[in-house]
Chains A and B, each alone.
Chain A
């Protein structure tokens, strides 16, 4: 499609390790096909260790051994020119980094050098790509910091002199100040209070709309997805199990795992038992056969244990990977309401 800025086809990326002669393979990204269009915020949700960070490390061309791309293509089209970052050389990738493609890492400290003031980091990463005169550059940086409720004084600080949430905002500022076309953000607002979080999310949305850029936004926090993303993918054990316009995910999800996620959303003032999933998250080293969700799925049938459900396209830009997606099943059956873990 002409509007695609990113296409991912049949992507498999595994951690391949050898512990004292024993091969161990963690299949963190297992057969993912998706695309991101120009001018949209694409969300990725899923439980802890489902492979969200691993997937976007591939998108950000930021992988290193033992993490390897086993199969598939990851193609960006900046200015109409395709580049497959799964196979491109380091120098080709360096050309698109920061200016076209920027990546806000989970935990975020890695870009901030602990022994240098924040100011120097801005100079290193943003001065050249922005191509402004010195005064104009610092003026632009300070104006951008203000959007994130940061005073110019943070530029003089060392990273350890800032609070966790201030550091997180500094890294968001770094990644967005050059106004890149494609922003990849991994849990960028987890350390922020709800007031600042709301303003930062609004800022990301404003910047994205003003530039018509694309954002891939990873977080486990469904309330963040509800408020910023246009489309949303639900990942379970290294695979996309459902993808749809965000509103559809919250109002008309078809996959039992998604329906569970939506039903267990926390609300203030609510102390009632939340539905909980039985069993533990699967190991990606030995994922269950068939549908990976089957050991925890309240409506699994025999077939689910043997066959892998494909991510099938339905009307309304909706894709679901479940054999029973079309059946009208009562909610209680799907949601498996029981006492919370005590």
Chain B
């Protein structure tokens, strides 16, 4: 029998209930999502989608911060939600998150180097300053920072990009096998963005780390991804090899996404127009009724 997949996501759904007793409303944030990542071939698996389509919710279930309403998530063959105690800690060291908004992810009252140190203490069992600082400095160097630059500083004393890179460095400390990166480059300029996605490539190719890369940036997604899923309203609408899909998307929403990427052709003419989103059928009912069907290049496209 072959080894179980590294990560197995099967028919996972998440329903939230919002509002008071009188105005209760159910939100289907994630709807029957399935995919598997293999142990043998580390990859960059990209999730792109509409704002509010369930990407962060799916990510939170993968690194174990939230449990699915239905369906299963397994890491190396074992249920993620069922892990407790030392077993859970070991899992957390191996599957590390990078949170969406660094301004929210950091405790504003805690110096950022203390935050990194607590990660080193927790996962590397580091006790002395020297034991902690070595891995911290190394992780910071991967993202173009150094311990000297961040030492003693509070989150608000760093720029948005510096804080985002510190968040990435924190995730590297425990030398994880999976990194779930929720919009890790949205806060940084184009040149740093390239440096960070190149770092992801290097982690994949040299250290065998699998990266789940959530992004709104189609250009870097094209540049580094092996596979991609495109989400809308909690549903996967297209899934498969990244480049063919981004070159010639088939689902109407994927096509709209590609069309909406801003161009430079009319720079400075102030001609920006609406996306025409209303013209694409985006009703939740249609999505629920549809199903994923195999199409060319081994991709799946939601039809019906």
Q: Residues of A at under 8 Å CB distance from B? A: 15, 19, 41, 46-49, 53, 106-109, 149, 153, 156-157, 161-166, 169, 187, 190-199, 201-202, 205, 220-230, 232, 245-251, 261, 264-271, 274, 276-277, 280, 340-342
Contact = CB atoms under 8 A, between A and B. Distances in A.
21 contacts: A48-B162, A49-B162, A107-B104, A156-B20, A164-B51, A193-B49, A193-B257, A195-B257, A196-B50, A196-B275, A198-B262, A198-B273, A201-B272, A227-B262, A227-B267, A249-B268, A261-B190, A265-B264, A266-B223, A268-B258, A274-B194
B270 A205 contact: yes
B189 interface: yes
B245 to A, nearest CB: 11
A226 B162 contact: no
Given A47-B161, A192-B216, A266-B219, 14 more contacts: A48-B189, A107-B160, A156-B18, A191-B51, A193-B48, A193-B51, A193-B216, A196-B277, A220-B190, A230-B270, A264-B191, A266-B190, A268-B218, A341-B195
B77 to A, nearest CB: 31
A236 B100 CA distance: 27
B51 A106 contact: no
Interface stretch (B38-46, B68-76, B123-131, B180-188): B180-188
A109 B192 CA distance: 24
A158 B266 CA distance: 39
A201 B270 CA distance: 10
Given A48-B160, A49-B162, A268 B261 contact: yes
Contacts of B273: 198, 202
Interface residues of B, number: 67
B83 interface: no
Interface in B194-241: 194-195, 198, 202, 216-220, 222-223
A271 B221 CA distance: 11
A163 B103 contact: no
Contact of B56 (A163, A274, A276): A163
Nearest to A204: B272
A195 B219 contact: no
Given A49-B159, A247-B269, A195 B277 contact: yes
Interface of B: 16, 18-20, 23, 25, 48-52, 55-56, 100-104, 144, 152, 157-162, 183, 186-195, 198, 202, 216-220, 222-223, 246-247, 256-258, 260-264, 266-275, 277
A197 B264 contact: no
A246 B268 contact: yes
B222 A271 contact: yes
Nearest to B221: A268
B159 A193 contact: no
Contacts of A195: 50, 256-257, 260, 275, 277
Nearest to B144: A280
A187 B198 contact: no
B268 A164 contact: no
Nearest to A167: B101
Nearest to A43: B268
A191 B262 contact: no
Given A48-B161, A205-B270, A340 B194 contact: yes
Contacts of A108: 103
A18 B260 CA distance: 48
B255 to A, nearest CB: 11
B198 A246 contact: no
A277 B191 contact: yes
Contacts of A280: 144
A264 B190 CA distance: 8
Contact of A164 (B100, B195, B256, B262): B100
Nearest to B256: A195
A277 B162 CA distance: 18
B78 to A, nearest CB: 29
Contact of A268 (B51, B246, B268): B246
B124 to A, nearest CB: 27
B56 A199 contact: no
A156 B100 CA distance: 23
Contacts of B269: 247
B198 A341 contact: yes
- By CB atoms of chain A within 10 A, which of B50, B189, B260 has the most? B189
Nearest to A150: B52
